[in-house]
Structure 1
Amino acid sequence: MQNISPDNTILLAKTRHIEELERLSVSIQFVESIGWMVHQLQAERGASCLYLASAGSRFAKERSAIIEQNQISESAFKEALQRYLHHNTSADAKQLTLVSWILLGLEQLLPFRHQVTLLKIPFSDCIQSYTRLIGSLISLIFEITDNTVNSKISSYLVALYNLVQGKEFAGQERALGSHLFGSGYMQLEHQHKLLELIAQQDRHFELFNQFGTDALREAWRTTLETEAHHTQRAYRSKLTAAKDQQALQRADSDAWFEACSTRLTEIWHIQCQLVAAMHDTLNSLSEQARRDLENTRLHLGELKARQTPTSNVDSTFFNLAIPLESAFTFLAHDELTPYPMESIIALLQQQSQQLAEIENELSETKKSLAERKRIERAKGLLMSKLGLSEMEAYKMLRNTAMEQNRKLIDIAENIITLSAQGQ
């Protein structure tokens, strides 16, 4: 066993950083698998809804093909999950409980699919059932993102979470619009839900653009100019402008579904681009970390070779001119402070500066995640106390924020505070 020394522990710190990046690589692979499962289940939900809407006369073959592909995807997901749990032994109880719910949902997919095939599941129940499973998978992406400590990867994951969540609301919009066009008339209740789905999409896509890279924002802007986007918006306008019980053209159902599906595919391509960029960034960080470890090891060897029996106080812990505070308070390195750079103190200062930069970069993403959790908490309180649905609770939060000209998070904090006070 090596002796405990400053040299060994600084090398251990850098080694642990490399190990952290390796675990993060497995996490990203798992998140990628989750994203694929979400995409495939969205496709299955769409085909199943059209199958039910046509009383089983249409989309039977297409649905069967998607289900067959999804059964393969489920196996790949479980393999990725096993790797993730093996390498991330610190996965907390909340993540593991959520994983248990997801595995239970996957186990019960087979009998659920059979009931859909037999036309024994109502249309609305079909949508809600798939949405529950998809929502659980997206929540798992959020939990993994919330536990990521690397600032660059965390930003990517926040962008990914919001893109996937926005895409899910777009998928729900596709299903709801198909139901409305297929029914042949507008139902005010469904129109209100449609408007909420649109508002939710806008919110999450805005956050995606906030945390995404310039390349991802440019890819997003490009999708806003596609024919599918303009077609989908035109049909959306028909739905949002219609009066209660107004007649709708059933023939528009297929065109709406096709435009929405193409739009979802365009978003999926951006998702793939984001995941690829995240892998590239992580590979670059890993290579950089390994070079840093090797350079540090060589530099420590050179310092040790130059050591003399007489200790030089100017390069030791007790040189008061060296701003040692940054080693444990994570202050930025002061370039103007003179001290001998060729010392282990310099290496420790450099390490502390790197940690300070990571801490600063991570704060914005963590703030976004914390706000999301508080908003979800406030929604849950409203749902419990007032008997509201999730969409109704969010609508109440958003409308209150608009009426009072305040931020959504501020309204959420007020609700949580009042609840804690028993009001």
Structure 2
Amino acid sequence: MQTEITSEHTIILAKIRHVEELERLVICTEFVESLGQMIHQIQAERGASCLYLASAGQRFAKERADLVAHNTSLDIQFKQALQKHLDANPLADARQLTLVSWVLLGFDQLTALRHQVTLQKISFIDCIQSFTRLIGSLVSLIFEITDNTVNSKISTSLLALYNLVQGKEFAGQERAVGAYMFGSASVQQPHQQKLLELIALQERHFESFCQFASPALREAWASAGVTENERKHQQYQAKLTGARPGQALQAKDADCWFELCSQRLTELWQIQCQLISDMHQTLQILVAEAQQDLANTRKHLQQLQDKASVSSRDSAFFNLSIPVENAYGFLTDTASQPYPIESVISLLQQQSQQIAEMESELSETKKALTERKQIERAKGLLMSTLGLSEVDAYKTMRSTAMEQKRKIIDVAENILLQHKQPQ
């Protein structure tokens, strides 16, 4: 015989759902960690592959072969983490699944790309762009997961992680472009312009990272910016960005540049690992708290059942002195007259307040994500309609915002609105 459903049952069910949601986030965070590891390793393979091609196969052959072997085994672990993530999140939306399909297609074709590099049948630039396309899809997947996360603390950490990883990716591209410039022994304006764009993009994403990162992570970031390695990196960076087009460069500086950039990427990777570790610790605490809350609620409801104290629940629903908008949130009409502690209503009130607090905390992160998507769409429109680079499109929106004394999101929304209007 089916048991009659009651408000007590649904209170417990809500608590169980919350625990399950956090446990799914644990698996999701493990997958994001795997994503970060894969991005880091493919960045390393991209660097070694580019230097292998630049030296006509005379250098970095063993280093590259070792990376390919390691990344091939990591590919299997990544797909296992992906499968676990999808199994735990059966309601992953179509956009995320489509992006996953694109990523898997890239991995399927990675063997052929590596074969082209080995045989030196691909150009230096095409090699960079091919690896960058795969890395870009992995970074985008982090953003999609962030956009679908409903816990405010984890969503904020993921947003910080996304910006850190994206900035790190532009730093990786900077390493490759700079190595090519030093290796070619002369400054070419298109490559110099690309380097300047990559530096600007890094600054933008690292600034966003600091906005959402914890104080400890911001401190780690600040410390990484004052090292001797960073000072030397900036010196070499100035050589490339400050040189005249056609000016000769020392090809021997390519090795030093590559090493400085690699050390910088390692420092960023260490911050990334710290961020992931913090997320794991946060989730452990959240899961433990949610499980304890569930246990306490079960105990409290059992005590109420033993006392058969249901009159307060029944009378509270039809208490017409409580405004409807308060009743939906299980709030009293005045702070001085709370619901009886020993009642189901008190539990519903507590639960409603917890949900309201979580939604309030989450709204700021979701707002940042929505604004980022709007700005990216507007930037893409300027790039396609005016033929601007990514950096110039963003600079155009930023300068317009400053001139008009408006927020950049307002400028972006205006661009999108004008595009929708019939000409």
Is TM-score (shorter-chain normalized) higher than 0.5? yes
Q: Which residue of 1 aligns with 2:140?
A: 139
Name the CA distance, whole Å, in 1 between partners of 2:34 and 2:111. 20
Contact 2:313 2:343 in 1 (8 A): no
- Cross-structure match for 1:41: 42
2:319 is aligned to: 319
Q: Give the alignment's TM-score, normalised by structure 1.
A: 0.94
> 1:54 Cα deviation (Å)?
1.0
**Distance in 1 separating the partners of 2:333 and 2:201:** 42
Would the aligned equivalents of 1:326 and 1:352 in 2 still touch at CA under 8 Å? no
Shift of 1:295: 0.3
CA positional deviation for 1:388: 4.7
Distance 1:329 1:128, change over 3 A: farther
- Residue type of the alignment partner of 2:189: L
* Secondary structure of residue in 2 paired with 1:325: helix
1:226 aligns with 2:227: yes
Residue 128 of structure 1, CA deviation: 0.7
Deviation at 1:106? 0.5
In structure 2, the CA distance between the partners of 1:36 and 1:308, relative to structure 1 (3 Å rule), is closer
**In structure 2, do the counterparts of structure 1 residues 402 and 116 end up closer, same or farther at CA, with 3 Å as the change threshold?**
farther
Moved over 6 A (4+): 330-334
- Say if 2:29 is the partner of 1:28: yes
| 1:5 Cα deviation from its structure 2 partner | 0.5
Aligned position for 2:164? 163
How far 1:247 sits from its partner (Å)? Answer: 1.7
Alignment partner of 1:237 is 2:238 = yes
Contact 1:327/1:348 (<8 A) preserved: no
How many residue pairs get matched? 422
Match of 1:348 in 2: 348
Q: Give, as a single letter, the amino acid of the residue that structure 2 aligns with 1:220.
A: W
DSSP 3-state at the match of 1:62: helix
Shift of 1:319: 3.3
Structure 2 residue matching 1:316: 3-state secondary structure: helix
Please show how residues 1-400 of structure 1 align to structure 2 within 5 Å: 1-307=2-308, 311-312=311-312, 316-320=316-320, 325-326=325-326, 328=328, 335-388=335-388, 390-391=390-391, 393-400=393-400
SS in 2 for 1:248: coil
d(CA) in 1 for partners of 2:137, 2:333: 43
Output the CA distance in 2 between the equivalents of 1:130 and 1:327.
Answer: 56
In the alignment, the residues of structure 2 paired with residue 188 and residue 331 of structure 1 have an alpha-carbon distance, to the nearest angstrom, of 65
1:280 to partner: Cα distance = 0.7
Displacement of 1:222:
1.3
Paired residues of 1:50 and 1:59 also in contact (CA < 8 A): yes
Structure 2 spans left out of the alignment, 5+ residues: none
Please give the alpha-carbon distance, in whole angstroms, between the structure 2 residues aligned to 1:363 and 1:89.
24
Once the two structures are TM-superposed, the CA of residue 97 in structure 1 deviates from its matched residue by: 0.9
Structure 1 residues 171, 17: CA separation in 2 closer, same or farther (over 3 Å shift)? same
Bigger mean CA deviation after superposition, 114-123 or 184-193: 184-193
1:316 CA drift (Å): 2.6
| Counterpart-to-counterpart distance in 1, 2:121 and 2:112 | 11
Does the 8 A contact of 1:151 with 1:362 survive in 2? yes
Question: Could you say if the C-alpha distance between residues 326 and 249 of structure 1 is closer, same or farther in structure 2, counting changes exceeding 3 Å?
Answer: farther
What is the TM-score with the length of structure 2 in the denominator? 0.94
Asked if 1 retains the 8 angstrom alpha-carbon contact of 2:309 and 2:342, the reply is no
Letter in 1 for 2:210: N
**Deviations for 1:177-213, whole angstroms, at most 9, x for unmatched residues?**
1111111111222222211111111111111111111
Rounded Cα–Cα distance in structure 2 between residues aligned with 1:46 and 1:383: 28
Question: 1:405 Cα shift?
Answer: 5.3
Which runs of no fewer than 5 residues in structure 1 stay unpaired?
A: none
Q: Is the 8 A contact 2:331 2:349 kept in 1?
A: no
Distance in 1 (alpha carbons) for counterparts of 2:156 and 2:298 = 31
Residue 401 of structure 1: CA displacement?
Answer: 4.3
CA distance in 2, matches of 1:24, 1:406: 37
Residue 93 of structure 1, CA deviation: 1.0
- Structure 1 distance, partners of 2:106, 2:115, is 14
CA RMSD of aligned residues (A): 2.2
Alpha-carbon distance in structure 2 between the residues aligned to 1:334 and 1:263: 57
